[in-house]
Structure 1
Amino acid sequence: MSAALMIKTLLVWLGILALAIGNGVLREALLMPVFGAPAGLVLSGVLLSGLILGVAYAVLPWFGRLPLTRYWAIGMTWLCLTLVFEFGFGYLVQGKSWPQLFEAYTFQGGNIWPIVLLVVATAPRVAVWLRRP
């Protein structure tokens, strides 16, 4: 991946990160109190997935025409950055234990985080497919 493409990939991911943080605030302040924990988690996951796909669709022209493998690489980079942030922030800043961090990957209590991660990884390629003529 070229340096310019890597910078674009990182900048877009930072935007996605900001949306994810906002989504988390919305989930804790509104969705879970109004709908309950399981439904609030599902709604939050669906909303975040839609936001990620929307961002990927919107920024696709900025990336330019690339081989399909590059779009997969962008998605996998977003996934790796997300996982590093998720575990780093959770462990180092929030002081969560590793078992607590891995609870988000169990689909228990309405948590669909693994599906959101799948969306993160595939969003650039899905956006290409949605934009095809």
Structure 2
Amino acid sequence: MLVLKSLAVWILLLIGAMLNGFAREQFLEPLLGESIALPVSGLILCTWIILICYSTITFYGKIPENAYKAIGALWLGVTLAFEFTFANLTQDRSWSDIIPMLNPLTGNLMLFVLLITAISPWGCAKFKKLF
């Protein structure tokens, strides 16, 4: 049941990420330019992840500390699987096209988004004193 609940919350994260990407392309890039819009979008997505996690963390009920770490690992795994599969199948991008997205020096904060995705369940639970 924990896995299903975790995946349900992850779908909210996915929806937010997709809306964030749409907003970046349609509004932020024309307004700010790509070099500024990309990191701003990354910060917005990190904030979204933390807000959703904080809002839903009690949804899991009473679980041990390690379960929150497992939720983060699951979210990270499905995020990576989705990112690589989606990019490969729908955008015809290879792994070598995707790997540079993990370099924050390019302005892309994907590495930080992945880190926030992985640690936010544990961090939000710790902040709310759930363990």
TM (norm. structure 2) is 0.94
Does 1:61 pair with 2:19?
Answer: no
Q: In the TM superposition, what is the alpha-carbon distance from 1:14 to its structure 2 partner? A: 0.8
Query: Contact 1:37 / 1:109 at 8 angstroms: preserved in 2?
Result: no
CA RMSD of superposed structures (Å): 1.2
Q: In the TM superposition, what is the alpha-carbon distance from 1:97 to its structure 2 partner? A: 2.1
- d(CA) in 2 for partners of 1:128, 1:40: 31
Q: Percent identity?
A: 35
TM (norm. structure 1) is 0.93
Figure out how many residues of one structure are paired with residues of the other and give that number.
130
Does 1:97 pair with 2:94?
Answer: yes
Listed one character per residue, the Cα deviations across residues 35-74 of structure 1 (whole Å, up to 9, x for unaligned) are: 1112111111111001101111111111112111000000
Unaligned runs of 5+ in 2: none
- Partner AA of 1:78 in structure 2: W
* Match for residue 122 of structure 1 among 114, 119, 122: 119
- d(CA) in 2 for partners of 1:7, 1:60: 14
Does 1:49 pair with 2:46?
Answer: yes
- d(CA) in 2 for partners of 1:98, 1:128: 34
Q: Compare 13-22 and 99-108 and name the one that shifted more.
A: 99-108
- Partner AA of 1:98 in structure 2: W
Q: In the alignment, what sits opposite 1:30?
A: 27
- d(CA) in 2 for partners of 1:36, 1:48: 18
Unaligned runs of 5+ in 1: none
- Runs of 4+ aligned residues of structure 1 deviating over 6 Å after TM superposition are none
- Partner AA of 2:95 in structure 1: W
- d(CA) in 1 for partners of 2:102, 2:57: 29
